[in-house]
Structure 1
Amino acid sequence: MSDDFSDLTSLLLVEHIAATGSLTAAAEKSSMTVSAASQRLAKLERSIGQSLFVRLPRGMSPTEAGAAVIRRIGALRFEIRSIRGDLEAIQSLRAGSVRLGSFPTASASLVSDALREFIATWPDVQVSVRSGVFPDLLEVLESGEVDLAVLWSYDFTPPWPTSILVQPLMHDPMHLLVSATSSSATTIALAELSDASWIVRQDQHPATQVLLRSCARAGFEPRVVYEANDYQEVQAMVSAGVGVAMVPGLALDQLRADVRKLAFTKNSAVPARQISLGTLDRRSLSPSMVAMTRCLQRAARALSGA
């Protein structure tokens, strides 16, 4: 038996006929002509192979089959109201979810600031954060495992994949990290550091690439004396006087008291890190994704001093 039970309009018409006892009144309640209502009812009855109403001289009365259908329509109407309630809750951020990808230095500063505002404002929205290295973030974004991803790039990194739409959040300038007992200067030219000992990140880390490229433009090769696993280790070695380090600003959110950060002069031409927010191209943003984007934008402006 084929049926038209997926035709919600026809089912609601059946309910209206039962409530009013009249095809004319039911058609009016369903915002259709009497002819269209009659055709819908006839088509539904043909598809199920049973009559739903007895045509009486003064109206219409449900058959046994019609009464069974009408009982189920009441439950269906309840489910429709529930669907509307769920959608309204998502739209008003009383429900829903957002999945965010990030990398460690952003998570410890920019992202945590944004999450603090988001969770305080919309506590009923489920938030999950996945931290990873750059290739992993691109992979989970393209696979749909996260909705949004905080990403980084430099002027020498490859272009973004065409499948990803990227909007800038902030520039993250590089700083020179020195021990607190060093000179009291607040800025320094990279060329002045040709004889310095350098502490870098391991495994061809992007910050290390920035250092090598910037020093090459300044006309020297840095003397690397220590390769650290993370920025806490970098700060510890700088504080001990082992050397100096070139570090992005977001990595210095928790700066030790025994180290200081210096800005590079403009003519040092040290590239800043671009922090961006990525989504899949042509994807419609849910209300929770829009709200998270705005929280990240506000956090980025606050960190940038804008």
Structure 2
Amino acid sequence: MRSSVLTVSRKLKFYQLVILDQVVQSGSLVRAAQVLNMTQPSVTKVIHEIESYFSAPLLVRSNRGVRLTELGELVLRRARTMLAELRALTDEVDAYKEGISGHVVVGTLISASTSLLPLALRLLKERAPQVLVSIRIGQFDQLLPALVVGEVDLVIGRVPDDWRGREETRTLSVDQLYDERLSIVGGTRHPLHEQAVLDLADLHSYPWILPPPGSLLRRTVNGLFADANLALPTNVIESLSVLTNVALMQDQKTVGLLPSETARQLSGHGGIRSFNVCTPLHFGGIGCFYANSRNLGPAAKLFRECTQLASERHVIPD
């Protein structure tokens, strides 16, 4: 028998969806129970209730934890959209009753600015100190799907060069905030820092840290070497972990790439220094992504305004 909205609303409850979401995020019933401050049998009972309603398992349990079935993936995808709307409703009610408050979830690409995001957060807290902000770090192909279904409210990061032609533009929009440069960096005592001006070819034979294939930054890097008529280096570690990369560069041989703002903030005390490369390196635009189909709650709307204000105050040093 086909379900109707009325029958679903009578049997399926929001708190059950919250528990299902937390079980999947935690990877196990035990850890989810700890996060939710519930007993493990209580969590198990709720999962059984949902599965009984759908007459099919939503989770596969094993010694390694739990994973979603195909039906479970479908249910959770829709559930997360509903939970995002419920969070927005809660924010709007709180804002109406108490003034600006609520919760905003901000995703940030690993390549995002290290100064604009903190500045936007400070501006938000000056205006609405009671707003809770959760930061999620990830890559483009992780955060934008989460933005579509409402797991995150906004994403701050680099705008792909081919953004206008991408499929995501049907469901997402972006505020262009500013343009970022790219720096090639190494340890502060790297021997090539003694040279006044360098070409990419001068650094080619050294060990390199490159972004993983498929990442936005890797496409930029591939283009840099192609434009210089150089093959990619062969002595390579692939990593997007800034702290790991900086530690690797302390051998005073390894070189890598960072957005210039990040490189500037880490220079000196961070143990790295930018090379003086003769050709200016363009990293790309930094933007604030949001979903077209979903109205932002008061807290997220205010944060979006703060990112625009922060971009106006953001100064990129020469």
Runs of 4+ deviating beyond 6 Å:
none
Structure 1 unpaired stretches of 5+: 1-83
Alpha-carbon distance between aligned partners in 2 of 1:206 and 1:262, rounded to the nearest angstrom: 22
Q: Secondary structure at the match of 1:219?
A: coil
2:226 is equivalent to residue 216 of structure 1: yes
Q: CA deviation at 1:185?
A: 5.8
Larger radius of gyration: 1
Alpha-carbon distance between aligned partners in 2 of 1:136 and 1:85, rounded to the nearest angstrom: 30
Q: CA deviation at 1:192?
A: 4.3
2:180 is equivalent to residue 147 of structure 1: no
1:174 to 182, 205, 211: 182
Listed one character per residue, the Cα deviations across residues 67-86 of structure 1 (whole Å, up to 9, x for unaligned) are xxxxxxxxxxxxxxxxx985
Partner residue in 2 for 1:63: none
Listed one character per residue, the Cα deviations across residues 89-137 of structure 1 (whole Å, up to 9, x for unaligned) are 46x42x3332222224538543233223322431122322332221121
Aligned residues: 219
Q: CA deviation at 1:293?
A: 1.5
Identity %: 21
Q: 1:99 to 1:236 in 2, by over 3 A?
A: closer
Partner residue in 2 for 1:305: 316
2:267 is equivalent to residue 255 of structure 1: yes
Alpha-carbon distance between aligned partners in 1 of 2:118 and 2:288, rounded to the nearest angstrom: 15
- What is the aligned-residue RMSD (CA, Å)? 3.2
Conserved 8 A contact 1:154-1:272: no
TM-score by length of 1: 0.60
| 2:187 alignment partner AA | S
2:205 is equivalent to residue 199 of structure 1: no
Alpha-carbon distance between aligned partners in 1 of 2:95 and 2:214, rounded to the nearest angstrom: 47
Conserved 8 A contact 1:97-1:127: yes
Q: 1:239 to 1:298 in 2, by over 3 A?
A: farther
Partner residue in 2 for 1:274: 285
Q: 1:244 to 1:126 in 2, by over 3 A?
A: closer
Q: 1:179 to 1:289 in 2, by over 3 A?
A: same
Alpha-carbon distance between aligned partners in 1 of 2:212 and 2:244, rounded to the nearest angstrom: 11
Alpha-carbon distance between aligned partners in 1 of 2:236 and 2:93, rounded to the nearest angstrom: 59
Alpha-carbon distance between aligned partners in 2 of 1:299 and 1:186, rounded to the nearest angstrom: 34
Partner residue in 1 for 2:256: 245
Alpha-carbon distance between aligned partners in 2 of 1:85 and 1:236, rounded to the nearest angstrom: 47
